[in-house]
Amino acid sequence: MSEPSNLKHIDRAQLAGLVEALAGAGTAVIAPALRHDARGTVGYRTVTTMADVVLDKRPDNALKSFFLPPTEPLLHYERQGKDVTLTPVDPSIGPRVVLGALPCDAAGLPIVDRVMDWDYRDEPWFGRRDATTVIALACDKADSACFCTGVGLAPDGASGSDLLLVPAGDGFLVEVYSDKGQALVDLHPAFFGEPRDQEQAQAFRAGLGAALSHADGLDPAAARAWIEGHFIDPAWPALALSCHGCGACAMVCPTCHCFDIVDEQEGVAKGTRRRNQDYCQYGLFTLHGAGHNPRGDQGARIRQRVSHKFAIYPDRFDAILCTGCGRCSRACAAGIDMFEVVERLAGLQADIDEETPTGGDL
Amino acid sequence: MARIGVFVCHCGENIARTVDCAAVAGSVADHPSVVCSVDYKYMCSDPGQNLVKDAITEHGLDGVVVAACSPHMHLKTFRRAASNAGLNAYLVEMANIREQCAWIHPRTPETTVKATDLVRAMVEKVKQNVPLEPIRIPVTPTALVIGGGIAGIQAALDIAEAGRDVIIVEKEPSLGGHMSQLSETFPTLDCSQCILTPRMVDAYQHPRIKLYTYSEVEKLEGYIGNFEVTIRKKGRSVDIDTCTGCGACMEVCPSKKALDEFDMGLRTRTAVYTPFPQAVPNKPVIDREHCLHYKAEARAIARGKPVKAVCQKCAKACAADAISFDGGDELIKEKVGAVVVATGFQLYSVAKDQPEPYLEGYGEYGYGADPDIVDGLQFERLASASGPTGGKILCPSNGQAPKTIVFIQCTGSRDPAKGIEYCSGVCCMYTAKHAMLYQHSVHGGRAVVFYMDIRATGKGYDAFTRRAAEESGAEYVRGRVSAIYRADGKLVVKGVDTLGGEPMTVQADMVVLATAIRPQPGIKELAQKLSISYDQHGFLNEAHPKLRPVETNTAGIFLAGCSQAPRDIPDSVAMASATAAKVLALFSRSEMEREPQVAKVDQATCSGCFHCERACAYGAVEHLEVKDRRGNVLRVVAQINPGVCQGCGTCAANCPSKSIELDGFTDAQVFASIQALSL
Amino acid sequence: MFEPRIVAFVCNWCTYTGADLAGTSRLPMATNVRIVRLPCTGRIDPLFIVKAFERGADGVIVSGCHPGDCHYSEGNYHARRRFRLFKELMDFTGIDSDRVTFSWVSASQGQKWADVVNGTTERIRALGPFEGYPGSEEVA
Amino acid sequence: MRFGYYPGCSLHATAREFSESLLTLVKALDVQLDEVEDWACCGASSAHATNHLLGVALPARTLAIAEGQGLDNIVAPCAACYGRLAGAAHEIEGDAALKGQVAEILKRPLGTPPEIINVVGFLQSLLPEIQPRVVKPLDGLKVACYYGCLLLRPHKVTRFDDREQPESMEQVCAAVGATPVAWNKRIECCGAGFSLSRTGSVIRMGREILDDARAAGAEAVVVGCPMCHSNLDMRQPAMNRGQAGAGALPVLYITELVGLAMGLDPKAMGLQRHYVSTQPLLDRLSTAVAVAEGEVS
Amino acid sequence: MNALRDLARQLLEAGEVKVVIGYEDSRRGVRPAFVSDPADVDRLIFDARCVHNLATYLNPRRGHVKRLGRAAVVVKGCDARAVAGLLREQQIAREDFVLIGVRCGGVFDTPDATGPLDAASIAPRCHGCTVREPSLPEHVVGDLPPEPPVGRDLDAEVARLMAMPAAERLAFWNRELAKCVRCYACRQVCPLCVCERCIVDKTQPRWIEPSAHTRGNLAWHLTRAQHLAGRCSGCSECERACPEGIPIHLLNHFLAGVVRDAFDHVVGDDPDAPAPVGAFRKDDAEEFIV
């Protein structure tokens, strides 16, 4: 894990002050907060005061949605007489700060950056990325669904974060990991003090591993090896039996980034072209106009999702498309447990390795 | 890319007075896909229509919108014009800017704006129109007539005379129905048999009429023009072809206790019988309930014993050897294009036991148990020359002529307390007739008629009832009868004279109840077989009480006579001829043409929940099995029979997955109209 | 003065003919109503109403034959159940169901049609523009 | 067996024999009658004629009390009481608003009213008890069962077997050895309503009834209603006056007839209270019995 | 539990069914289990955490489950209502599957619940349950557990909402529906969403906008609720499946009340009972129609 370029301390009062200052200066502050809905859920949303922020609960929705929204207009079209006018929607937005991101959510951003800047640079995505400073908070909220450590991340990892907060004394140790982060500190010096209580921060970090012990020794590489050798395998349809084929897992995933482009008619010969998040577990995802569907059943679809995350993406972009946040497992109505899936596939590979001993010339 | 033409009509000043037609045409001109937009004084005039035709060829239009009056007025006109110009008629729509715009608004900019909106909406709709062809359904030009009474006979003769084949199904052994039981008929007092029998014979001998007596409709499948009927021919044990009708069998038959249905139980008959001397066909049947052989057979079968031949005197007596005890019922299938239901009526009975829970008998009349309390049809038989008394009106109890006779109208009819609130229509007339017949038969006798109102609306009817009251001297008493009982050998009839304001008691020898007319027993079962509807009394429902009185909601099925409501003979005959006209119109072409406004199912997306079927008033939704190559059923989906569908679109709205489209009003068309109208 | 947009979905046999009658009787009406002619109220899917609102209508009229008079004998009975569910659902979700008029107008009730049109227009005018879709364009 | 019991005013006055015969009878059958406590007038003839609400509230009070007493049925021997109680029960059951209004007036809760049983139905239900106890079969005594109006009407309230051709009285009488005659005036109005105001009419109407019963060969008329009884019994001399061959026709309460068949003491049942002497009838029966038992030769 | 396992074993060994669909325990609570091998039947369990409505696996859309062959499905009384719905609408044939009914003492709101089943933790659908003893299944196993505790009453929640001023109600639903990301978990998990092609996926024309804005979301949820009116079996799986915690089932429950009051119909587990969908009574109330 890369080392912080600078250390600071921010106490809770200062943090509150920072939020107000940012909001006051027209910077959108996005943080985990009560959504004031019927079921009292917590999710990332824009806040204007620290009072709304909830730092001790995991947000239900993925931070991703603030970079790749469930729906966003790309352009408006209108036909008058013979000619058509297209009005693109300007993707650029004002400055934003994400406060209290889960490290696994933050870590998802650089992973998705790779595909968004692959064959062409996705302007809406990077427009929002550039405009946003991410302040993550070292996480002690791990539950049985979590396995960030199993995919090479850590509850106190700083990947994707410009600043990382670690609880220390009356506030947080602030670790600076990027120029963007430093810039924020420099812009609001009043709210950042010199680092202190670092040993408490150390102690906090030391305590985080326990809740994740089940993920120790998870071997995604083995899983990848098995996947690459078993495109056709009874394990896939078996895995899919209980799957409802909905998009819940993809929608809450910090790294799932598929989208669909639709034109919505809004009157006579006019409308809006929109980009909507899409999800591979749903039959229509690959349904061809001609009626053929290369992923005709749920087995093929679930294979796609798992393969994409643990074999295809690593192969193409050299990164696992999963941060072990466990949201998909929590969201799944059929109780499909991503950690268990990876563990199982890796296990299958292990069996194979035992059967075929290596070394020893003939 | 659509090419739409818009034609705005001034309708003289009718539209132009408040709508700026030129402005409408102008602003629509640059509406997407509009390639020509003009206004004209009278679009429906010849030059106006030519304007449209020429534009169609000149601009190669694939859609036309005429902005003028209501489509109810001229849509057909412009569709015809378009198809003359080679454009499919169903690519033409009308925007109603007269009745629903020009005529209801002042001359303001808003009015013109609204007119423009209506035109735009229609342009948007017409862009979604697709060429349609009228639906053609082959027609089997054979009519099925259910019921061989006067209505059925009349309908059959009219259709046959026009050169179309007819099949009559009559459940009794003979044609004739109730009319053959009547003595004389009002208002002319001519002999019922004398006018009916020739018709019966005509029907029997007509080369185009096939007659199934002693038969019933078992099942009806298919739809208008293409029905298949299954007929149950009840075993009559007498071969109708070899039988000579000599009657020898009846003379030797020892079983004589069966009540004679034709004579309304006023006498008995043998087990092998023809209902009446003039029966058509005049060939007997064996009534298996009463025949000694069949009774023995039934007993043997019940006891699991072998069946032995018993009696069979008739067979031995039959010179033609026409009687056989082997045959049973026979099921016959026939293809027909139309159905006339003429099943007639039965009389309400005052007895304690009633066929329907909502009906009640007349306890106050001792439930009619007294032999000298008879109903209208029994009186007809007593008055009939062919009846049990040879036309002499005599009391069943003692064979004496009744010195005093009481007629009670509205027995059951118009009496909600007994369950029937409707008027039976014919009772006023036949009671008057009965009173006259009585006076002719029993000179110096006293006839008292209790009535609620006299309803004599037919031609010559009122004069007839007056004759009964004024000339033949029947005492007409306006009032009801509260009790009938026997005392000192007389029937004591206690009633009230509401005009005199006095209770009155009549010591009578005979009482005739003008009991209500009810539909035939089994009518509801038949209606279900034909999938037509009926009211709470079982009378069959017409499609529209005023404008479609002889049609049903099931296309191709028509109603005549008392199956639909109480009717007298003239009305029944008129109705019968009306059904014949409807049937012949249907048969006039080898194919029916119908507006192609019907629903279609997208079988690829239909999930077979059949909400459409539940919502269809016409039973147009069928089940279609989607099979794979090996013929395994993959799914069962809905399919709509265009011959039956009437195009209401209820199924389309009920379809959760929007897998049903209604041609002419498809989702795409409605959607487009909404897009254009709301902004 | 606010001029509401009102879309009317009417059946071809009763209400559309009634509206024609109103025309031939020259009964004055507000210009705010635009009629969509359908064969039967049975054809009307609540989505028609929803779509009209989405497209900017401020009010909707749904009208057909009186019970028992349906040209297709039962269409309006089915429609009535559909409308019941939709109307209750509007109320439950807080969308003012006063924005929709459900009516039976026969072919002979020109005057009633005029009353329905004018009454609805007045009512919607009082309610003001329909703003049932806040933040439809907002990005999370 | 236990039943609720509502005597009503008649059974304490003009119809004492009705009450006496009934009570003697139930004693012999050891059936217990629990009288409704503090019962009030049923309102017959006057109340419902003057004020509908009063006509319902009066009997409803009795019903409410009975209910409170835990009675789930009430035997109301007097046909008028029966009519009023059953009528009130029917009305408040069918009209929640009225029920509330009445409850308000009575300041009592109204639950499900008890079942109201008329005397004929009561005896019918007891036939299994009665028949084994018949010791003096009535030797085919010809009786004319007279229903009057109140037992039968209104039908929707009384649900009596058949409003026009009832049979239940005949069934009870036949079951105890009498022979019901077939006659025509069984449900004719006896005129009780006008007993005082238009006595003349009542005499005429009663006469027609009695004549028809005699014509049918009846030796006695059997009734289940105090009004009918007082008319046909008390006014019979007047009815028979000037009628050649119009022998006195005893009018028995159906309870008396059944009691006689069970050999109960005529005096205990109040048969001596009748205006038309029942003695000849009693004599005729005892001889009959004697003959049957072979005492006399 | 043993009765359940024994029955499952018999059915599998006798070849009467190819798979038993039931519940199994896992590291994250109870989840659906598909048991094809008689040796595995001991995986099957049933307890108060078995909240899933397994009837959804009989839904004809589940091609991959169908392919397993004839199935025996473990159903609670409430789940059986959904099976009845599928039968009523001719989506499945009774002879094609076996039902193993389980007597039920109420279930938790979530399958990973711990602690006692109490007023706070019990699923709302259990409120006033009348089908703890299933009637539709040919087999019913287990002993009837004690009366469940009384929990959340959805009627009360509906009433509370209806008591609000309309504007507040509108705000409430806008707030909730704004969260919808159109993952269609509600539809996918629903045993009675049987459409081959959901209306929201119809593009010609596109009645319901697929985008997750309030316009599209409102149209979607209104339509979904209406399509389930008189059909919804009340299992509220749609709400459990929703990753955004939208109280979707309130809409279904509300309409169930309307159907009950206006059409005199309550969805039960009798497949032959007439459905109010595509039906009518001539005297249906119409006070809302002028």
Judge whether B289 and B252 are in contact, CB under 8 Å: no
| Cβ of residue D212 closer than 8 Å to a chain B Cβ | yes
B114 interaction partners in chain C (CB closer than 8 Å) = 31, 34
Give the pLDDT confidence of B411-458 residue by residue, as tens digits: 999 999 999 999 999 999 999 999 999 999 999 999 999 999 999 999
Look at D164 and B485 and tell me if their CB atoms are within 8 Å.
Answer: no
* pLDDT bracket for residue D193 (50, 70, 90): confident
E287 falls within a domain: no
Q: What is the pLDDT of residue B498?
A: 96
Chains with 3+ CB–CB pairs under 8 A to D are B
D51 falls within a domain: yes
Domain that holds residue E222: 154-263
Give the pLDDT confidence of A314-326 residue by residue, as tens digits: 999 999 999 999 9
| Cβ of residue D165 closer than 8 Å to a chain B Cβ | yes
Give the pLDDT confidence of D31-64 residue by residue, as tens digits: 999 999 999 999 887 788 889 999 999 999 999 9
A144 interaction partners in chain E (CB closer than 8 Å) = 27-28
CB contact burial A72-111 (16+ within 10 A = b; e otherwise)? bbbeebbeeeeeeeeeebebeeeebbbbbbbbbbbbbbeb
* Token code pair at residue E87: 């039968």
Restricting to A residues 46-75, those with a Cβ less than 8 Å away from any Cβ of B are none
Q: What is the pLDDT of residue B553?
A: 78
Q: Give me the CATH number covering residue D191.
A: 3.40.50.11810
Q: What is the mean pLDDT of chain A?
A: 93
Residue of chain E whose alpha carbon sits nearest to that of B634? E60
B671 interaction partners in chain E (CB closer than 8 Å) = 205, 207
Give dist(CA B37, CA B52) in Å, integer.
Answer: 10
Give the pLDDT confidence of B373-383 residue by residue, as tens digits: 999 999 999 99
* Token code pair at residue B186: 């009002």
| pLDDT (mean) for B259-286 | 94
* pLDDT bracket for residue A344 (50, 70, 90): very high
E147 falls within a domain: no
Give dist(CA B569, CA B588) in Å, integer.
Answer: 28
E282 falls within a domain: no
* Domain match, B142 and B125 both: no
Domain that holds residue D257: 135-292
pTM of the shown model: 0.71
* Token code pair at residue D73: 């049925």
Q: Which domain-ending residue is among D83, D117, D151? A: D117
Give dist(CA A117, CA D233) in Å, integer.
Answer: 116
Q: Where are the beta strands (DSSP E) in C13-107?
A: 33-38, 59-64, 100-104
Give the pLDDT confidence of B102-130 residue by residue, as tens digits: 999 999 999 999 999 999 999 999 999 99
Q: Count the neighbouring beta carbons within 10 Å of the beta carbon of residue C91.
A: 18
Which ranges of chain E have pLDDT less than 50?
Answer: none
**What's the structural domain count of chain B?**
5
Look at B106 and C28 and tell me if their CB atoms are within 8 Å.
Answer: yes
* Domain match, D75 and D140 both: no
Q: Is the model more confident about E278 or about B142? A: B142
CB-based contacts of B44, cutoff 8 Å, min separation 6: B9, B68, B69, B74, B77, B78
Chains with 3+ CB–CB pairs under 8 A to C are A, B, E
Q: Count the neighbouring beta carbons within 10 Å of the beta carbon of residue A6.
A: 15
B352 interaction partners in chain D (CB closer than 8 Å) = 162, 165
Angle at E52 between CA E50 and CA E58, to 5 degrees: 125
Integer Rg of chain B from CA: 33
* Domain match, B367 and B323 both: no
Look at C81 and E258 and tell me if their CB atoms are within 8 Å.
Answer: no
Residue of chain A whose alpha carbon sits nearest to that of B672? A268
E205 interaction partners in chain B (CB closer than 8 Å) = 667-668, 671-672
- Asked whether at least 3 C-beta pairs link B and C within 8 Å, the reply is yes
Q: What is the pLDDT of residue B536?
A: 86
C29 interaction partners in chain B (CB closer than 8 Å) = 104-105
Look at B487 and D164 and tell me if their CB atoms are within 8 Å.
Answer: no
Look at B656 and E205 and tell me if their CB atoms are within 8 Å.
Answer: no
Judge whether B540 and B532 are in contact, CB under 8 Å: yes
User: What phi and psi values does residue E128 have, to the nearest 5 degrees?
Assistant: 60, 35
* Domain match, B32 and B157 both: no
E197 falls within a domain: yes
**What's the structural domain count of chain D?**
2
Q: Give me the CATH number covering residue B74.
A: 3.40.50
Give dist(CA E251, CA D233) in Å, integer.
Answer: 74
- Asked whether at least 3 C-beta pairs link D and A within 8 Å, the reply is no
* Domain match, E37 and E120 both: yes
Give dist(CA B177, CA B150) in Å, integer.
Answer: 7
* Domain match, B239 and B299 both: yes
* Domain match, B261 and B339 both: no
Q: What is the pLDDT of residue D289?
A: 60
Helices (H), B369-445: 376-383, 427-441
Q: Residue A360: pLDDT above 50?
A: no
Sheet holding D251-253, edge to edge: D179-180, D142-146, D220-223, D251-253
* Domain match, D139 and D251 both: yes
Give the pLDDT confidence of A175-197 residue by residue, as tens digits: 999 999 999 999 999 999 999 99
In chain C, what are the domain boundaries? Answer: 6-127
Q: What is the pLDDT of residue B17?
A: 96
- Asked whether at least 3 C-beta pairs link E and A within 8 Å, the reply is yes
Give the pLDDT confidence of A75-127 residue by residue, as tens digits: 999 988 778 999 999 888 999 999 999 999 999 999 999 999 998 999 999 99
Q: Residue D296: pLDDT above 60?
A: no
Look at E30 and A335 and tell me if their CB atoms are within 8 Å.
Answer: yes
* Token code pair at residue B19: 């709508």
Question: CA quadruple B603, B605, B611, B615: dihedral positive or negative?
Answer: negative
Percent of chain A with pLDDT over 70: 98
Q: Fill in the DSSP letter of residue B98.
A: I
Of C27, C31, C34, the CB nearest to B677: C34
| pLDDT (mean) for C62-71 | 90
Look at B32 and A267 and tell me if their CB atoms are within 8 Å.
Answer: no
Q: Residue B349: pLDDT above 50?
A: yes
D144 falls within a domain: yes
**For residue A135, what are the β-bridge partners?**
A99, A163
Look at B32 and A268 and tell me if their CB atoms are within 8 Å.
Answer: yes
Give dist(CA B88, CA D194) in Å, integer.
Answer: 87
* Domain match, D88 and D209 both: no
- Which of D149, D164, D208 to mutate to test binding with chain B, by most B CBs within 10 Å of its CB? D164
* Domain match, B191 and B321 both: no
Report ipTM for this prediction.
0.74
Residue C31: burial class (beta carbons within 10 Å; 0-12, 13-18, 19+)? buried
Q: Which residues of C touch A (CB under 8 A)?
A: 55-56, 137, 139-140
Give dist(CA B569, CA B115) in Å, integer.
Answer: 56
Among D83, D77, D105, residue whose Cα is nearest residue D256: D77
* Token code pair at residue B496: 């009230």
Q: Residue B78: pLDDT above 90?
A: yes
Measured N-to-C along each axis, helices E166-178 and E214-228 cross at an angle, to the nearest 10 degrees, of 100
Give the pLDDT confidence of E170-216 residue by residue, as tens digits: 999 999 999 999 999 999 999 999 998 999 999 889 999 999 998 99
Size of interface A-C (CB pairs under 8 A): 12
Percent of chain C with pLDDT over 70: 95
Give the pLDDT confidence of C8-25 residue by residue, as tens digits: 999 999 999 999 999 999
Q: What is the pLDDT of residue A1?
A: 52
Judge whether B68 and B45 are in contact, CB under 8 Å: no
D172 falls within a domain: yes
CA atoms within 13 A on the CB side of A169: 14
Q: Count the neighbouring beta carbons within 10 Å of the beta carbon of residue D92.
A: 24
| Cβ of residue B485 closer than 8 Å to a chain D Cβ | yes
Give the pLDDT confidence of B511-531 residue by residue, as tens digits: 999 999 999 999 999 998 887
Judge whether A149 and A180 are in contact, CB under 8 Å: no
Q: Count the neighbouring beta carbons within 10 Å of the beta carbon of residue B244.
A: 12
Look at A72 and C139 and tell me if their CB atoms are within 8 Å.
Answer: yes
Restricting to E residues 37-56, those with a Cβ less than 8 Å away from any Cβ of A are 52, 56
Look at B363 and D162 and tell me if their CB atoms are within 8 Å.
Answer: yes
Domain C6-127 class?
alpha beta
Of B31, B675, B678, the CB nearest to A265: B675
Judge whether B341 and B540 are in contact, CB under 8 Å: yes
* Token code pair at residue E264: 């005199």
Q: What is the pLDDT of residue B644?
A: 86
D288 falls within a domain: yes
Q: Count the neighbouring beta carbons within 10 Å of the beta carbon of residue B535.
A: 12
Give dist(CA D145, CA D161) in Å, integer.
Answer: 14
Measured between CA atoms, how close is B636 to chain E, in angstroms?
A: 9
* Domain match, B625 and B637 both: yes
Look at A38 and E31 and tell me if their CB atoms are within 8 Å.
Answer: no
Q: What is the mean pLDDT of chain B?
A: 94
* Domain match, E24 and E85 both: yes
| pLDDT (mean) for B318-347 | 95
Q: Residue A357: pLDDT above 70?
A: no
**For residue B228, what are the β-bridge partners?**
B221, B335
Look at B111 and C57 and tell me if their CB atoms are within 8 Å.
Answer: no
Judge whether E82 and E62 are in contact, CB under 8 Å: no
* Domain match, D194 and D273 both: yes
E223 falls within a domain: yes
Look at B650 and C74 and tell me if their CB atoms are within 8 Å.
Answer: yes
CB contact burial D43-65 (16+ within 10 A = b; e otherwise)? bbeebbeeeeeebbbbbbbbbbb
Measured between CA atoms, how close is C71 to chain E, in angstroms?
A: 15
Q: Residue C138: pLDDT above 50?
A: no
**What's the structural domain count of chain E?**
2
Of C55, C56, C140, the CB nearest to A69: C140
Of B30, B604, B675, the CB nearest to A268: B675
Percent of chain A with pLDDT over 90: 83
Highest average pLDDT, of A251-260, B538-547, D286-295, comes from: A251-260
Give dist(CA A262, CA A259) in Å, integer.
Answer: 10
* Domain match, E108 and E167 both: no
Give the pLDDT confidence of B395-404 residue by residue, as tens digits: 999 999 999 9
Q: Residue C133: pLDDT above 80?
A: no
Give dist(CA B110, CA E49) in Å, integer.
Answer: 64
CA–CA distances in Å: residue B622 to residues B218, B530, B602, B603, C139 = 21, 16, 13, 12, 47
Q: Which domain-ending residue is among B132, B167, B194? A: B132
* pLDDT bracket for residue A337 (50, 70, 90): very high
B526 falls within a domain: no
- Which of B1, B31, B674 to mutate to test binding with chain A, by most A CBs within 10 Å of its CB? B31
In chain A, what are the domain boundaries? Answer: 6-210, 220-355
Measured between CA atoms, how close is B264 to chain D, in angstroms?
A: 25
Measured between CA atoms, how close is E224 to chain B, in angstroms?
A: 9
Q: What is the mean pLDDT of chain D?
A: 90
* pLDDT bracket for residue A222 (50, 70, 90): very high
Chains with 3+ CB–CB pairs under 8 A to A are B, C, E
DSSP element (H, E) containing A192: none
Judge whether B168 and B152 are in contact, CB under 8 Å: yes
Look at A145 and E28 and tell me if their CB atoms are within 8 Å.
Answer: yes
Look at B650 and C43 and tell me if their CB atoms are within 8 Å.
Answer: yes
Residue of chain E whose alpha carbon sits nearest to that of A41? E245
Helix, strand, or coil (residue E37) = coil
CB-based contacts of B502, cutoff 8 Å, min separation 6: B496
Domain that holds residue B649: 595-663
Question: Given the structure tokens 């070849």, which residue do they identify?
Answer: E15
Question: Given the structure tokens 């199982």, which residue do they identify?
Answer: A344
* Domain match, B445 and B392 both: yes
